[in-house]
Amino acid sequence: MLAAVAPLPQELTGTEAATGRTLAATLQAARPQPPFRSSAMDGYGVRAADLALGRFTVLGEALAGKGYAGGPVGTSSAVRIFTGAPVPEGVDVVVPQERARREGETVWLDVSAPLRTNIRAAGIDFKAGDLLVRGGTRLHARHVALIAAAGIGSVSVTRQPRVAVLATGNEIAQPGARAAPEQIFDSVSFGLGAMIEHWGGKPIRIAARPDETAAIAAAIDHTLGEVDLVVIIGGASVGAYDVVKQSLAGLGLAIAVQRIAIRPGKPTWFGTIGGKPVLGLAGNPAAAMVCAYLFLRPVVHALLARESDAAASVAAHLEGEVGDSGANECYLRAMARTDAQARMWARPFDNQDTSLVSVFAAANALIRRPAGAKAAVSGTVVEVMLLDRS
């Protein structure tokens, strides 16, 4: 799948609009932060060698954004200084104002107790040339703050992939519309759309189509030129009405993956139409959304040139029991928690029916069981994939 996907072009965006976007090029600092020695608190700046004098003449003051302009500070002299202000030349210690008594232009400083310098070095945050954020990083608020601190007003980001999402099936009704007694509401395309948006893409949800080759082909043909990736839900198994692949054959569908040895989601398939990637997911909600985490997420990340961690997992203790996995790799919807000893536990839900949206909504993790894994008892260490990552 990843071999069929190339990163999308770059575009420029303002730093204020960069949250959630994927940085296209690594950023380095052009200057140190802060670019000067600065005071860590409000107080009086003096020479450390003069501390024993106790009494000082106040020459002036240094404010944040406006330094002391009187030149180097000499013997028995002090400068009133505030947090964040540039430290004048000659000053190498700031005595907190709580340890000062001032009368007019004279100040007495209490240095009977140990004293820190209370001066931040120039470049203590980062230096000129330091790496700020690596290309391929999804920008969170903490990254945006760092970029702004470096004085960078705009950044190059990867264009957000446009992803068409189409649910198929005669039984599908639009939420908010009147459903016939034998219909169910479309949930999967809405769930996948939310996932795609959360992962950095732009979902384009197509109204559900019935299990008719002409209707499915027309919907995809109409949308294909406007998107970077197509996701089709349902119609991928072996039933008489599973006609998606047949529908797309006339558009030039080239199948690269017919099915996957996984449960749930074995009917998952992948191909291209004129070089445009197309991912087919099973119609059952849990199967579609599990495989979206496993396959759609890394494909979206590849379009964004973002390093994907979709396959990353953590170790947890099984809470409960699981049976043999059989011939397919299995993913069990589960609830992960951390106990008072900081150990992670994962409890699989009793009902793993792939039609249950409620179970998937309640889960925050998937327990991965390799193909051929034997039954496991409570306390066994298992591999867990956490769902609520960014």
**pLDDT tens digits, one per residue of 159-184:** 999 999 999 999 998 898 898 898 98
331 and 224 fall within a common domain: no
pLDDT in tens, 6-61: 999 999 999 999 999 999 999 999 999 999 999 999 999 999 999 999 999 999 99
Q: Which of 137, 158, 179 is the last residue of a domain?
A: 158
The whole-angstrom separation of Cα 301 and Cα 304 is 5
Q: What is the pLDDT of residue 388?
A: 78
202 - beta bridge partners? Answer: 162
CB contact at 8 A, 94 and 119: yes
Do 295 and 363 fall within a single domain? no
Q: How many CA atoms lie within 13 Å of 50's alpha carbon, on the beta-carbon side? A: 21
How far apart, in Å, are the Cα atoms of 379 and each of 321, 331, 337?
9, 18, 14
| CATH number reported for the structural domain that contains residue 382 in this entry | 2.40.340.10
- Domain of 352, in residue numbers: 314-386
Q: SS3 letters for 260-281?
A: CCEECCCCCEEEEECCEEEEEE
Are both 174 and 293 inside the same structural domain? Answer: yes
In a domain, 292, yes or no: yes
| Dihedral of alpha carbons 53, 57, 59, 65, sign | positive
Query: Structurally, how many domains does the chain consist of?
Result: 4
The verdict on 6 and 152 lying in the same domain is: yes
Q: In degrees rounded to 5, what are phi and psi of residue 333? A: -65, 135
27, 102: one domain: no
Question: What is the phi-psi region of residue 249: left when phi exceeds 0, alpha when psi lies from -120 to 50, beta otherwise?
Answer: alpha
Shared domain check, 377 and 266? no
DSSP 99-111: GEEEETTEEEE--
Together in a domain, 8 and 141: yes
Please identify, among 303, 326, 341, the residue that sits at the C-terminal boundary of a domain: 303
Helices and strands, number each (H, E), in the chain? 7, 26
Mean pLDDT of 314-321: 96
Residues 295 and 166 reside in one and the same domain: yes
* Diameter over CA atoms, the chain: 96
Same domain? For 147 and 269 the reply is no
